Chains A and B, each alone.
Chain A
Amino acid sequence: MAFKVTNTEAGILLTKYGKVDVNNPDQKILEKLYDDGSIYVEKVEADSKETKKIEAQKEEPKEEKKK
């Protein structure tokens, strides 16, 4: 199970568990924040992540054809 930072345009989140780089977040800290009910952390389902990857791969060839 993965977690992502959401609801913010901050570059860094300062938390009681340590500093979180929004672009490269420490998953262990995000999990703790999620358990605390933080509004800045969202759980990402593994399935949907895979689905997004697949969708992205499908879209790429179409763009190349247009060019």
Chain B
Amino acid sequence: MCVTLKKLAATSNNCGGNLAGLVAKLWVAKAEDVATIPAPAASPANQIVIASDITMQAGKVFQEWNFQKDTGKVYASSVGPEGSLSFENMVDFTFPRPTLDVLEQLFLNANTELIVIVKKRDGQVVIIGDLDNPAYFSEIKPDSGLKGSDPNNVPCKLKALAANGYKVYTGVIPVAA
């Protein structure tokens, strides 16, 4: 899909801040628990924005996963030959401790199809995965470390393929209380 080219104004002198990274939590649901993810509207100001609400299967909600601050990162990486690019949308994050719940959730969902929502510190909320191309763990790496001062944590990576990069979401996220 091509969009009309538009002017991109200078942003380097913007008076606002430009915080990097993610807030230290994400929201995750099994893809089978998500009923619909709306497409971006055809004619809004920006065509990577999903402004309508995600809907869930009956009784299902997103779950909040809190991770270690300053370990969260979302990024899109173009893959494929020139003229035929697609994207891998990625989320990296680290759980600070290998608690039983963390290990259970990760080990027993290692191959689960997921829809993941993250919030960047700049305010953008990003969806990784859709119902046709859900997100998967590409790395789950609990590591006890060697010395007492080493990290004893669980770095993780999630990945989803996408034709056109990730989408920004401005709708509602239904979560457990």
**Cα–Cα distance between A7 and B53 once the two chains are bound (Å):** 11
| Known contacts A14-B175, A15-B172, A38-B171; A9/B59 CB under 8 A | yes
Distance between B132 CB and nearest chain A CB, rounded to angstroms: 21
Q: For B133, list chain A residues within 8 Å (CB).
A: none
**Cα–Cα distance between A26 and B125 once the two chains are bound (Å):** 22
Q: Is B52 an interface residue (CB 8 A)?
A: yes
Chain B interfacial residues counted at CB < 8 A: 19
Secondary structure at chain B's binding surface: helix, strand, loop or mixed?
loop
**Cα–Cα distance between A38 and B59 once the two chains are bound (Å):** 18
Q: Across the interface, do B177 and A12 meet the contact criterion of CB distance under 8 Å? A: yes
Q: Across the interface, do B55 and A13 meet the contact criterion of CB distance under 8 Å? A: no
Distance between B88 CB and nearest chain A CB, rounded to angstroms: 26
Binding site for B on A (CB under 8 A): 7-16, 22, 33, 36-40
